[in-house]
Amino acid sequence: MLDVDPYAALQRLRPVGSFTVTSADFADGGPLARPQWSTGAGGVDRSPQLSWSGFPDRTRSFVVTCLDPDAPTGSGWWHWAVVNLPLSVTSLEAGVGGPGGPALPAGTIVLRNDDGERGYAGGGPPRGTGVHRYVFVVHALDVPSLDLDPDATPAVLGIRCFFHALARGILVGTVSRD
């Protein structure tokens, strides 16, 4: 059986530590709250609240990503990629960086998601494709920032995180429209 969890594959290739990520908006393995769904699926594309702790002392910055590995694309669907969060940031409020939401810290880069937008794209799997997992990952990096073109793809970000990650915290939410 093929492993469809890209983060498990990363752990096999280059093992790193883990740390805790939690959300006030959903429990690990549980459904995303309706505001975290896409507007097309009855939500409002509001990123969830996230908090993290227990990362390595050598951490210098963070990256937050969200991938739906169950999207019927063969490569998943990137919903969010936030780069260069300073060490002082250990939580993000719901809706951060979105319209009318709290601002992200100066110097933070938000890459385009697979909808082509710079921001969080809520869950909204196509009907008939079952339960989709939304894998939120906080990457603890050994550098204060990544020199990354703002037009880079989340895949390019992934390779940069691969070489600079000290640890990853993972929190999974689900959405089903069946």
Residues 36-76 pLDDT 10s: 999 999 999 999 999 999 999 999 999 999 999 999 998 89
Place 11 in a pLDDT band, splitting at 50, 70 and 90. Answer: low
Contact, 62 vs 138, CB < 8 A?
A: yes
Q: Give CA–CA dist 133/70, Å, rounded.
A: 6
Q: What is the CA radius of gyration of the chain?
A: 15
**pLDDT at 1 (0 to 100):** 39
Q: Give CA–CA dist 178/131, Å, rounded.
A: 8
Contact, 165 vs 143, CB < 8 A?
A: no
pLDDT, tens digit (0-9, with 9 covering 90-100), for 109-152 = 999 999 999 999 999 999 999 999 999 999 999 999 999 999 99
Contact, 46 vs 40, CB < 8 A?
A: no
> In which domain, by residue range, is 142 found?
6-175
Whether 1 is covered by a domain: the verdict is no
Segment (H or E) for 77: strand 77-86
Task: Specify the pairing of strand 132-141 against strand 61-68.
Answer: antiparallel
Whether 114 is covered by a domain: the verdict is yes
Q: Kindly give, in sequence order, each residue whose CB lies less than 8 Å from that of residue 47, ignoring residues fewer than 6 positions away.
A: 36, 80, 92, 94, 95, 96, 97, 98, 101, 119, 120
Whether 67 is covered by a domain: the verdict is yes
**CATH number, domain containing residue 62:** 3.90.280.10
Place 29 in a pLDDT band, splitting at 50, 70 and 90. Answer: very high
Between 111 and 8, name the one with better pLDDT: 111
Q: Give CA–CA dist 71/68, Å, rounded.
A: 6
Say whether pTM exceeds 0.85. yes
Count the domains in the chain: 1
Q: Give CA–CA dist 146/3, Å, rounded.
A: 29
**pLDDT at 2 (0 to 100):** 43
**pLDDT at 7 (0 to 100):** 55
Query: How many helices (H) and strands (E) in the chain?
Result: 2, 9
